[in-house]
């Protein structure tokens, strides 16, 4: 399973509900962001939210190897670095989909059973760490999967929100590769929840609060 696992983690068709999330693109578009700004948004997300989430997922993967498994420190650190309630709620909703997949693959795995007792519900990066333990992926593959998912989520949402040539999205992702590689390296260097980067993009937080009040939305956040 470990051979295919990194490919599955990076596949937008993985049935964990990721299609309901735009990684902040829809609120940004509502605030005036245009198609020409998407590459800059990708770079900004890679140096902020993506690093934090990838690092949290890796920390959760490390915690999954403990006896007993304790995701609490990672969960609390990540929640503290996600100040906007709508973003925490969206992360928990997405985490439920990941948890469901992990439970289907290995219901009795300690990394999975530890998720079930968490209150509040585990955030998505924490569940990704548990899923990574079940699928036996490496820390580097998990971090890369989280970072790539950030790129893929935004560019996929752009096809719905900012119509244009679909091939542009491929070019955007390839152009962002140096920033993605840097985000993976930084995430892997985090050794404890206390070191988890606190780089919340202020505009993303503001837009998320505004987005939560809108009645017509395509995505959670």
170 occurs within a structural domain: yes
Specify the pLDDT at position 209: 94
91 occurs within a structural domain: yes
pLDDT per residue as tens digits for the range 17-35: 988 999 999 999 999 999 9
pTM: 0.95
| Segment among 10-14, 79-83, 95-99, 174-178 with least mean pLDDT | 10-14
Average pLDDT of the segment spanning 93-114: 97
Average pLDDT of the segment spanning 93-107: 97
What percent of the chain has pLDDT above 90? 90
30 occurs within a structural domain: no
Specify the pLDDT at position 94: 96
Specify the pLDDT at position 202: 83
**Number of folded domains in the chain?**
1
Categorize the per-residue pLDDT at 2 as very low, low, confident or very high, splitting at 50, 70 and 90: low
Question: How is residue 106 written in tokens?
Answer: 């290995």
127 occurs within a structural domain: yes
Q: Identify which of 184, 172, 71, 168 has the alpha carbon closest to the alpha carbon of residue 117.
A: 71
Q: At what angle do helices 38-46 and 167-175 cross, to 10 degrees?
A: 40
Specify the pLDDT at position 195: 98
Q: Dihedral, CA atoms, 123, 203, 20, 69, nearest 10 degrees?
A: -10
Most confident of 14-18, 20-24, 198-202: 20-24
Q: Identify which of 98, 143, 102, 95 has the alpha carbon closest to the alpha carbon of residue 119.
A: 95
Task: Evaluate whether 106 touches 134 at the Cβ level (below 8 Å).
Answer: yes
Specify the pLDDT at position 10: 87
Q: Distance between CA 9 and CA 131 in Å, rounded?
A: 9
Q: Please, what is the average pLDDT of the chain?
A: 95
Residue recorded with tokens 């919340």: 200
Specify the pLDDT at position 26: 97
105 occurs within a structural domain: yes
6 occurs within a structural domain: no
CATH of the domain at 46: 1.10.4190
The range of the structural domain enclosing residue 76 comes to 39-212
> 192-198: which pairs have CB atoms within 8 A and are 24 or more residues apart?
192/59, 192/73, 193/59, 193/73, 193/74, 193/76, 193/77, 193/78, 194/77, 196/52, 196/55, 196/56, 196/59, 196/74, 196/77, 196/78, 196/81, 197/51, 197/52, 197/55, 197/81, 198/52, 198/80, 198/81
């Amino acid at each position: 399973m470990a051979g295919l696992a990194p490919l599955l983690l990076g596949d937008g068709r993985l049935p964990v509900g990721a299609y309901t999330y735009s990684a902040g693109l829809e609120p940004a578009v509502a605030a005036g962001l245009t198609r020409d700004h998407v590459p800059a948004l990708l770079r900004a997300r890679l140096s902020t939210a993506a690093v934090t989430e990838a690092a949290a997922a890796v920390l959760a993967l490390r915690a999954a190897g403990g006896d007993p498994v304790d995701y609490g420190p990672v969960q609390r650190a990540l929640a503290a670095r996600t100040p906007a309630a709508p973003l925490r709620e969206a992360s928990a909703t997405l985490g439920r989909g990941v948890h469901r997949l992990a439970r289907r693959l290995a219901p009795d795995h300690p990394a999975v059973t530890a998720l079930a007792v968490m209150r509040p519900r585990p955030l998505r990066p924490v569940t990704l760490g548990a899923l990574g333990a079940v699928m036996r992926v490496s820390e580097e593959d998990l971090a890369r999967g989280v970072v790539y998912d950030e790129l893929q989520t935004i560019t996929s949402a752009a096809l719905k929100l900012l119509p244009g040539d679909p091939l542009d999205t491929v070019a955007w992702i390839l152009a962002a590769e140096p920033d993605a590689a840097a985000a993976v390296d930084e995430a892997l260097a985090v050794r404890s929840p206390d070191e988890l980067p606190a780089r919340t993009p202020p505009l993303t937080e503001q837009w998320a609060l505004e987005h939560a009040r809108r009645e017509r939305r395509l995505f959670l956040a």
